[in-house]
Amino acid sequence: MTAPLIDPFARAITYLRVSVTDRCDFRCVYCMSENMTFLPKKELLTLEELDRMCSTFIDLGVEKLRITGGEPLVRKGIMTFFQAMSRHLERGALKELTLTTNGSQLERFAADLHAAGVRRVNISLDTLDEAKFAEITRWGRLPQVLRGIDAAQKAGLRVKINAVALKGFNEEELPAITEWCAARDMDLTWIEVMPMGDIGNEDRLGQYWSLKDVRAEYERAYTVTDLAERSGGPARYVQLQETGQKIGFITPLTHNFCESCNRVRLTCTGELFMCLGQEDNADLRAPLRDHPDSEEPLRDAIRNAIAHKPKGHDFDYSRQRTDGQMSRHMSHTGG
């Protein structure tokens, strides 16, 4: 009944990323269109349903839970969910509870997150320039995000900055962002822009800055050493000898990291995506709601979904077109 989740390629599924809302207080140009239509609230899993869903996954061997959005901290009452998940940390079934955030709400919630057992947060931040931040997010408020980072560190949360590599936008900021992170003892991970969703007039290929080129920039300025460590996600890490800091690279386009994939993604409506770069998904909301007094149908649906997890994704820019583009927005699946 509680045997671990193993996919058809002998990969143990121990990492669940959960989108708790498709809403966000920013409109980043690579993630959302400017005038987004959000899901009706009745379609979203309630916080109680999210608790039951995540608890079932944990009983089936999930050890790491990452909460995402949209922006997870704009969901009303979300701290009650984090507090509920802390019971799984206390009993040792869950090894890590964490989240990815844009940082806008951390000034309010950092201390409460730490109290609920969160020890690490990933903060999405692509530029330190206030005008460029307003351009990339469409809504701005960089000082609010920086205060959130201050609050997170003050609360005892380990902060990692996630920066999307964008050609012609933050190329020149690579040294400044790197040194800023080093000065604050924060790790930094660069992410290749992914072809997901209709983002209006934005040009995917125009945005794309290969992380091979990002690494080459580092090698011109620093002594770069490859690290063997893994964080449970897709990043590959190097260390900069001069600063001592860790730099991560998430490269779904120039390096296929699928061979070690241990994760699946649950949307705020209860769809389980076995792969970020494939459209196949399983409806877990129906067995959850149709059988309120039994976990067996939900467990069966989860196991059946994992049995259909593909070997890998189809993202590809090699032919100068956005092959493998997903029709859904990143905010729907969770970052």
250 in Cβ contact with 258 (< 8 Å): no
Query: 110 lies in a domain?
Result: yes
Q: H or E stretch including 107?
A: helix 106-115
Annotated binding site, which residues?
Answer: 17, 24, 28, 30-31, 66, 70, 100, 124, 160, 194, 258, 261, 263-265, 275
75 in Cβ contact with 20 (< 8 Å): yes
Query: 65 lies in a domain?
Result: yes
Nearest-10 Cα torsion for 323, 211, 193, 191? 130
Q: For 259-273, b where at least 16 C-beta lie within 10 A, e where not — what string?
A: eebbbbbbbbbbbbb
Which pLDDT score, from 0 to 100, does residue 323 have?
A: 44
Integer Cα distance of 322 and 112 in angstroms? 41
Annotated binding site for GTP, which residues?
Answer: 17, 66, 100, 160, 263-265
Query: 113 lies in a domain?
Result: yes
Which pLDDT score, from 0 to 100, does residue 314 have?
A: 55
Integer Cα distance of 109 and 321 in angstroms? 41
Integer Cα distance of 6 and 117 in angstroms? 27
SS3 98: strand
Query: 181 lies in a domain?
Result: no
- Give me the domain span that covers residue 129: 15-159+259-333
Query: 289 lies in a domain?
Result: yes
SS3 57: helix
Query: 286 lies in a domain?
Result: yes
Which pLDDT score, from 0 to 100, does residue 275 have?
A: 85
Query: 133 lies in a domain?
Result: yes
Query: 74 lies in a domain?
Result: yes
**CATH number of 45's domain:** 3.20.20.70
Residue type, 190: W
Annotated binding site for S-adenosyl-L-methionine, which residues?
Answer: 30, 70, 124, 194
Q: In what order do the strands lie in the sheet with 281-283?
A: 224-226, 236-240, 246-250, 187-192, 158-165, 120-124, 96-101, 64-68, 15-19, 263-266, 271-273, 281-283
Annotated binding site for [4Fe-4S] cluster, which residues?
Answer: 24, 28, 31, 258, 261, 275
Question: Within 139-188, where are the H helices?
Answer: 142-155, 174-183
pLDDT tens-place values along the chain, 335 residues long: 567 899 998 999 999 999 999 999 888 888 877 777 788 888 999 999 999 999 999 999 999 999 999 999 999 999 999 999 999 999 999 999 999 999 999 999 999 999 999 999 999 999 999 999 999 998 889 999 999 999 999 999 999 999 999 989 999 999 999 999 999 999 999 998 865 444 444 454 467 888 999 999 999 999 999 998 876 667 899 999 999 999 999 986 554 567 778 889 999 999 999 886 666 899 999 999 999 999 999 999 999 999 999 887 554 444 344 444 444 445 455 55
Q: Is the pTM of this model over 0.75?
A: yes
Integer Cα distance of 330 and 315 in angstroms? 14
User: What is the domain count for the chain?
Assistant: 1
Which pLDDT score, from 0 to 100, does residue 139 have?
A: 83
Which pLDDT score, from 0 to 100, does residue 140 have?
A: 83
72 in Cβ contact with 101 (< 8 Å): yes
Beta carbons within 8 Å of 63's beta carbon, 6+ residues apart: 14, 15, 93, 94, 95, 96
Which pLDDT score, from 0 to 100, does residue 280 have?
A: 81
Integer Cα distance of 168 and 293 in angstroms? 54
If we measure between CA atoms, which residue out of 53, 49, 54, 62 comes closest to residue 2?
A: 62
Which pLDDT score, from 0 to 100, does residue 12 have?
A: 93
